[in-house]
Amino acid sequence: MVRALVALLYLQACALAAPRAGTPWPRRVRGRIINGTDASVADFPWMLSMEAAGQQWCGASVVGGSWALTAAHCVSAPYLTLRAGSSTWGSGGFVLDVSQTIIHEDFDYYAMTYDFAVLQVSEPFPLGPNVQPVGLPPDGYEPPAGLPVTATGWGATEDVWYPDVLQRVDVEVLDRSVCQEHLGSIHTVTASMLCAGQEGHGACHGDSGSPLVHNGTQLGTVSWGQPTCVGPAAVYGNVASVSSWITNTTGA
């Protein structure tokens, strides 16, 4: 009961990301992993469900034998565990305790820059068909506008706060100027961020930390966007801006 209560108190802090410090996300939203479809973890074996005190919290991805990547704004919650190898949150797969959390030293919650953290689990991930590390892009890689990418997660849908089954949505990389135009009044869009989306499609609250992938390489982590989730663009952490940091920190 105590853990569940603590998790509920933290619940609004993690979901895309707060557009302004102290502004809570609504408990119900119109919008979803917008126009997404059910997905199988067998097609996205790096996908992890991050749970806080047993409650679905954020997403993460396997980046090494004992390491995961997520958004820095996700890791303030207590009693974090990672569920690997399951398409259904709250059941199946393998649950591992988080033993260490390392937030990128340049993370700024108020500006949402360098929204990255790596998590070490208490024992190695049980690698197999449904649990595999995702690829990382080269340092400084800039994916071109129009590149097709896929976001996955258990974030809010139009009907439920957390869907039972993993969702996927196909969008495309956008020029940062597009996110600056639509979202610049919330935060400045910097080189540590990646812009992606498509009208009527995208990530939503609860997808934070989840991977944005092209051909098995993770280009982004869900970070922040419009509170309604219905805008044409959303902001992801730009993984290529921290590839060396990830490998140096985790030894992956």
pLDDT at site 39: 92
Q: pLDDT tens digits, residue range 21-61?
A: 222 233 333 234 556 788 999 999 999 999 999 888 999 99
**Would you give the DSSP letter of residue 113?**
B
115 as an active site residue: the answer is yes
pLDDT at site 31: 30
| Mean pLDDT on 177-185 | 94
Cβ-based neighbour number of residue 242 at 10 Å: 23
Please give the residue that has the higher pLDDT: either 205 or 240. 240
| Of 27, 113, 106, 115, nearest in space to 69 by CA | 115
Q: Considering 49, 61, 66, 73, which one is annotated as catalytic?
A: 73
Mean pLDDT of the chain: 85
- Single-letter code of the amino acid located at 135: G
| pLDDT score of 98 more than 70 | yes
> Which residues have a Cβ under 8 Å from the Cβ of 205 and sit 6 or more positions away?
15, 16, 25, 29, 155, 156, 161, 229
CATH code for residues 2-11+45-131+244-250: 2.40.10.10
| pLDDT score of 17 more than 80 | no
| Mean pLDDT on 174-201 | 93
Whole-model pTM: value is 0.87
86 as an active site residue: the answer is no
Q: pLDDT tens digits, residue range 110-143?
A: 999 999 999 999 999 999 999 999 999 999 999 9
| Mean pLDDT on 11-27 | 33
* DSSP bridge pairs for 213: 150, 218
Length of the chain: 252
| Of 179, 68, 63, 72, nearest in space to 115 by CA | 72
208 as an active site residue: the answer is yes
Q: What share of the chain is helix, strand, coil (3-state, %, to 5)?
A: 15, 35, 50
Model confidence at 157, pLDDT cuts 50, 70, 90, reads low
- Single-letter code of the amino acid located at 80: L
Domain 148-241 in the same topology as domain 2-11+45-131+244-250 = yes
CA-to-CA distance for 74 and 96, rounded, in angstroms?
Answer: 17
Q: Considering 208, 210, 223, 241, which one is annotated as catalytic?
A: 208
The class level of CATH for 148-241 reads: mainly beta
Helix intervals (H) in the chain: 2-10, 176-183, 243-250
Please give the residue that has the higher pLDDT: either 156 or 182. 182
pLDDT at site 5: 30
pLDDT at site 158: 60
Cβ-based neighbour number of residue 154 at 10 Å: 29
| pLDDT score of 19 more than 80 | no
The residue ranges of every structural domain in the chain are 2-11+45-131+244-250, 148-241
Place of tokens 């097709």: 148
Q: Considering 61, 86, 104, 115, which one is annotated as catalytic?
A: 115
CA-to-CA distance for 119 and 143, rounded, in angstroms?
Answer: 26
pLDDT at site 111: 96
